[in-house]
Structure 1
Amino acid sequence: MSMSISSPSPKLIFLIADGMGDLPVPALGGRTPMEAAETPAMDRLARLGRVGLCRTVPTGMAPGSDVANMSLLGFDPASHHTGRGPIEAAALGLALDADDVVFRLNTVTVSEFAESGLMRDYSAGHIDTAVSTELVKKLGESCLPAGYELHPGVQYRHLLVAKGAAGREEATVFVRPPHDITDQGLAPDLAELRRVPALWEFVTCAARTLAGSGNGSKANAVWPWGQGRALTLPAFAASFGLRGGVVSAVDLVKGLGRAAGMDVLEVPGATGLLETNYEGKVAAALEFLKRGDFVFVHVEAPDECGHGGDAAAKTEAIARFDARVVVPMLDALGDRAAFLVACDHPTPIAIRTHTSDPVPFVFWKQGIAANGASAFSEQAAAGTGLVVEPGHTLLPQAAAWARG
Structure 2
Amino acid sequence: MKLLFLIADGMGGWPDEMPGGKTCLEAAATPNMDELAASGVVGVCRTVPEGMPPGSDVANMSLLGFNPARHHTGRGPIEAAAQGLVLAPDDLVWRLNLVSVSELSAQGKMLDYSSGHITTEASEPLLRDLQEHLGDETFQFHPGVQYRHLLVHKEGALDYEATLKIRPPHDITGKSLHADLREFSRCARMWDLLFLAEERLAQTARHTKANSIWPWGQGRPLILPDFKQSTGRTGAVISAVDLVRGLGRAAGMEVIEVPGATGLIDTNYQGKVDAALAFLERGDFAFVHLEGPDECGHAGNAAEKTEAISRFDARVVAPLRQALQNSGGGQDVAFVITCDHFTPIAEKTHTPDAVPFLFWHKDCAPSGLTAFSEAQARSTGLDIEAGHELLRWTLRQLEP
Bin of the TM-score, shorter chain as denominator length? over 0.9
Partner of 1:380: 376
How does the TM-score come out when normalised to structure 1? 0.96
- Whole-angstrom CA distance in 2 between matches of 1:204 and 1:13: 46
What is the SS of the residue equivalent to 1:234?
coil
Question: In the alignment, which residue of structure 1 is the partner of 2:395?
Answer: 399
Is the contact made by 1:28 and 1:311 (CA closer than 8 Å) also made in structure 2?
Answer: no
Question: Which residue of structure 2 lines up, in the alignment, with residue 319 of structure 1?
Answer: 310
The percent of aligned pairs where both chains have the same amino acid is 59
2:352 alignment partner AA: S
Q: What CA deviation, in whole Å up to 9, does each residue of 1:241-273 have, x standing for no partner? A: 100000000000000000000000000000000
| Residue in 1 that maps onto 2:218 | 227
Partner of 1:201: 192
Which shifted more, 267-276 or 192-201?
192-201
Q: Is the Cα contact below 8 Å between 2:126 and 2:205 reproduced in 1?
A: no
**1:23 and 2:6 matched:** no
Deviations 1:113-166 (A, max 9, x none): 111000000000000101101111111122335411111000000000000111
Deviation at 1:331, TM superposition (A): 1.0
Q: Which amino acid aligns with 1:318?
A: I
| Alignment counterpart, residue 366 of structure 2, candidates 370, 383, 396 | 370
Matches within 5 A, 1:107-118: 107-118=98-109
Does the 8 Å contact 2:137/2:154 carry over to 1? no
In 2: Cα distance, 1:375 partner to 1:138 partner: 51
Match of 1:389 among 385, 388, 391: 385
Moved more, 275-284 or 140-149: 140-149
| TM-score, structure 2 normalization | 0.97
Q: 1:15 is matched by which residue type in structure 2? A: L
In the alignment, which of 240, 249, 273 is matched to residue 249 of structure 1? 240
Per-residue displacement from partner, 1:171-197 (whole Å, max 9, x unpaired)? 111110000000100011111111222
Local SS of the residue matching 2:157: coil
Counterpart code for 1:291:
R
1:141 aligns with 2:136: no
Q: How much has 1:214 moved relative to structure 2? A: 5.0
Select 1:338's aligned residue among 318, 334, 337.
Answer: 334
2:205·2:211 contact (CA, 8 Å) conserved in 1?
no
Residues 293 and 305 in structure 2, CA contact (< 8 A), matched pair in contact too:
yes
Distance in 1, matches of 2:293 and 2:230, equals 30
Letter of the 1:210 partner, please give it. Answer: L
Please name the residue that 2:328 is paired with. none
Amino acid in the other structure paired with 1:99: D
Distance in 2 between residues matched to 1:124 and 1:88, nearest whole Å: 19
Once residues 194 and 138 of structure 1 are traced to their aligned partners in structure 2, the CA distance between those partners, rounded to angstroms, is 24
1:261 aligns with 2:252: yes
Contact 1:306 / 1:349 at 8 angstroms: preserved in 2?
A: yes
Tell whether the 8 Å contact from 2:341 to 2:350 is kept in structure 1 after alignment: yes
Which runs of structure 2 are paired with 1:160-179 in the superposition (5 Å)? 160-179=151-170
Say whether the 8 Å CA contact 1:145–1:201 is kept in structure 2: no
1:7 paired residue number: none
Does the 8 Å CA contact 2:2/2:332 hold for their aligned counterparts?
yes
Structure 1 position 27, deviation (Å): 3.9
Is contact 1:25-1:311 (8 Å) kept? no
**Structure 2 counterpart SS, 1:368:** coil
Hey, what's the Cα distance between the residues in 1 that align with 2:303 and 2:397?
35
CA offsets, 1:193-231, max 9 Å, x none?
Answer: 112222111110111221233530000000000000000
What is the one-letter code of the residue matched to 1:270? Answer: A
Contact 1:145 1:198 in 2 (8 A): no
**1:271 paired residue number:** 262
Does the C-alpha gap of structure 1 residues 166 and 26 become closer, same or farther in structure 2, counting only changes over 3 Å? closer
Q: Which residue of 2 aligns with 1:239?
A: 230
Structure 1 runs not aligned, ≥5 long: 1-9
* Secondary structure, counterpart of 2:366 in structure 1: coil
Give a deviation string over 1:29-77, Cα, whole Å, max 9, x none: 2100110000000000010000000000000000000000000000000
Distance 1:239 1:28 in 2: 45
Query: Number of residue pairs matched?
Result: 395
Runs of 5+ consecutive residues of structure 2 not aligned to the other structure: 326-330
